[in-house]
Amino acid sequence: MITVSNVGLRYGDRKLFDDVNIKFTPGNCYGLIGANGAGKSTFLKILSGEIEAQSGSVHLGPGERLAVLKQNHFEYEEFEVLKVVIMGHTRLYEVMQEKDAIYMKADFTDEDGMKAAELEGEFAELNGWEAESEAAILLKGLGIPDDLHDKKMEELNGGDKVKVLLAQALFGKPDVLLLDEPTNHLDIKAIQWLEEFLINFENTVIVVSHDRHFLNKVCTHIADLDFSKIQIYVGNYDFWYESSQLASRMATDANRKKEEKIKDLQNFIARFSANASKSKQATSRKKLLDKITLDDIRPSSRRYPYVGFTPEREIGNDLLRVEGISKTIDGVRVLNNISFIVNKDDKIALVGKDEIAKTTLFKILTGEMEPDSGSFKWGITTSQAYFPKDNSEFFEGNELTLVDWLRQFSPNDQSESFLRGFLGRMLFSGEEVLKKASVLSGGEKVRCMLSKMMLSGANVLLLDEPTNHLDLESITALNNGLINYKGSLIFSSHDHQFIETIANRVMEITPNGLMDKQMSYDEYLENSELQKQVAALYE
């Protein structure tokens, strides 16, 4: 258990936390959410002791151990991978080092023998005999093969280093586990393994993540950082989001009878409880949901941008035909004889391990890059809008205000009041619309690019990783906007829920060409896993 009492922190005139009182109890996984800049990562640092609060205190239970996912991927370059994982249990690692130092002494004394015996006893109590096998299991679960376990960290690529640091945090069954964006840079298989690990983890977990699917899978509670306070809600992220929306609707309709509101709440809880049946964690969550009362449901102050794409022209049946496109970059063939046809109402998720391949295909389809061979043709009824992964050319050195920046892309030279209103719906209010385009944050740039696309009235959208840099509120708004979009789209994303709720077709770019499946993302993942299992039988 970790207890937070009267914690407060202020940076200059800005108040991050004010008199925060909260308990995080064993057996639960808490998703810490809040708008960008609200202080989620800072709060984790206060819990870990890395930052000291200006008031209040944080207490661990007696004899309990806390583990943190480290963010410095170059901290352990000179150490072997297996050893780095074991370092996650500081005292166990210290005991191992002390033991080794004593046994390596040339003049081993009786006093050394007594000390070694004490250390051996503590080593056994800390489950030291199982340390290397436990570390190896964690590494393999996250996709680090045996032949890398004895390598030095400096020999690993960036993605594998992230996995090793995650294994370090998970090692030794810590009493409290703090994870800040643990799914970043993980592949699908590693994320699925981590989800199962945390679902079955019996101690306390506090996690910050922009991955809604991950939060929905692992969280028993949501810790909402809002108005410098933290409020705990039972359930996963979707439950929190839907309940906050329900509370807002109830608040705006104050004259409704309480009995009707209670019925709405009961129906709402029943719908979510019905889905909580696949694990013991989900089952315990269902029991908690059943205990919720009307007073537990509160509206959130969270602001969501308005994201809505309206095609100006109805799309025809002949959208896009791609035939035999190949492309080599820096001596590596990233696209190999790619052919496909886009049909009306297709919402295509472009997936695959090679990020360059996906971006290259987008650039070819938008005319930014020429293929080495092959061709493509857009239908005459189509108009396209493109969201590039790298938007720097639109903003770097650009001294235009946001109003004037957006005016460039307004087809009808809209009035300033229209553009201000449009930007307001994208959460740029008041004097913010006079900010220079060059000083925007990553999330603000993405919202501007989405505004540009909305003004275009295009009936085909191409989006390359549009959720990068966005907070949960903006991701949710974009997700809903694309679900409701009446045109066709091709997009790439690492957000599981984003893909699953939007795509009706999945195209995977492989070194040998294109795998094209008319199915949902979850069906595609299940199909891929089944194919791997069948292939393994014949190896």
pLDDT tens-place string over residues 457-472 = 999 999 999 998 898 9
Among the listed residues 280, 248, 256, 285, the one whose alpha carbon sits nearest the alpha carbon of residue 269: 285
Task: Show the DSSP H helices in 204-340 as ranges.
Answer: 212-218, 237-252, 258-273, 280-289
Sheet with 2-11, edge to edge strand ranges: 14-24, 2-11, 55-60
Q: Which two tokens stand for residue 343?
A: 């049909």
Among the listed residues 89, 191, 94, 91, the one whose alpha carbon sits nearest the alpha carbon of residue 134: 89
Cα–Cα distance, 411 to 104 (Å, whole number): 77
pLDDT value at residue 278: 45
Q: What is the DSSP string of 111-163?
A: HHHHHHHHHHHHHHHTTGGGHHHHHHHHHHHTT--GGGTTSBGGGS-HHHHHH
Sign of the CA dihedral running 157, 163, 166, 170:
negative
Average pLDDT over residues 322-328: 96
Cα–Cα distance, 243 to 47 (Å, whole number): 28
Q: Phi/psi class of residue 56: alpha, beta or left (left: φ > 0; alpha: ψ in -120 to 50)?
A: left
Give yes or no for residue 445 having a pLDDT over 90: yes
Residue 360's identity, in one-letter code, is T
Cα–Cα distance, 359 to 500 (Å, whole number): 20
pLDDT value at residue 110: 84
Cα–Cα distance, 176 to 66 (Å, whole number): 5
Higher pLDDT, 348 or 187: 348
Q: Phi/psi class of residue 181: alpha, beta or left (left: φ > 0; alpha: ψ in -120 to 50)?
A: left
Residue 252's pLDDT band, with cuts at 50, 70 and 90, is low
Among the listed residues 231, 239, 261, 235, the one whose alpha carbon sits nearest the alpha carbon of residue 249: 261
Average pLDDT over residues 280-300: 63
Going from the N-terminus, what domains does the chain have, and what CATH number goes with each? 1-64+175-235 (3.40.50.300), 79-172 (no CATH), 241-290 (no CATH), 318-538 (3.40.50.300)
pLDDT value at residue 534: 47
Average pLDDT over residues 6-26: 90
Average pLDDT over residues 416-439: 91
Average pLDDT over residues 329-358: 94
Bridge partners, 338 (sequence order): 325
3-state secondary structure of 108: coil
| Start-to-end C-alpha separation, the chain | 47
pLDDT value at residue 138: 96
CB 44 within 8 A of CB 206: yes
pLDDT value at residue 430: 86
Higher pLDDT, 302 or 195: 195
In this predicted structure, which of 108-112, 144-148, 291-295 has the lowest mean pLDDT? 291-295
Give yes or no for residue 123 having a pLDDT over 70: yes
**Token pair 């970043």 in the structure block, residue:** 184
3-state secondary structure of 441: coil
Among the listed residues 220, 306, 177, 223, the one whose alpha carbon sits nearest the alpha carbon of residue 34: 223
Cα–Cα distance, 187 to 143 (Å, whole number): 9
**Token pair 């994870």 in the structure block, residue:** 179
Cα–Cα distance, 152 to 319 (Å, whole number): 51
**Which tens digit of pLDDT belongs to each residue from 58-96?**
999 898 999 999 988 889 999 999 999 999 999 999 999
Quote the pTM value. 0.84
Cα–Cα distance, 272 to 234 (Å, whole number): 12
Give yes or no for residue 429 having a pLDDT over 80: yes
Cα–Cα distance, 95 to 120 (Å, whole number): 8
Give yes or no for residue 290 having a pLDDT over 60: yes
**Phi, psi for residue 273 in degrees, rounded to 5:** -65, -30
**Which tens digit of pLDDT belongs to each residue from 264-284?**
666 766 766 655 444 555 556
* H or E stretch covering 190: helix 188-199
Residue 238's pLDDT band, with cuts at 50, 70 and 90, is confident
Give yes or no for residue 143 having a pLDDT over 90: yes
The average confidence (pLDDT) of the chain is 89
Average pLDDT over residues 376-394: 95
Neighbours of 305 (CB within 10 A): 21
Rounded-to-10 torsion of CA 504, 356, 515, 495: -30
Measured between alpha carbons, how far is residue 155 from residues 78, 83, 139, 160, 162 in Å? 9, 14, 16, 10, 13
pLDDT value at residue 6: 93
Give yes or no for residue 483 having a pLDDT over 60: yes
pLDDT value at residue 284: 61
Among the listed residues 538, 498, 510, the one whose alpha carbon sits nearest the alpha carbon of residue 210: 498
Rounded-to-10 torsion of CA 208, 228, 19, 29: -20
3-state secondary structure of 377: strand
**Token pair 């090692």 in the structure block, residue:** 171
Q: Which two tokens stand for residue 98?
A: 């002390």
Angle at 375 between CA 372 and CA 379, to 5 degrees: 150
CB 203 within 8 A of CB 177: yes
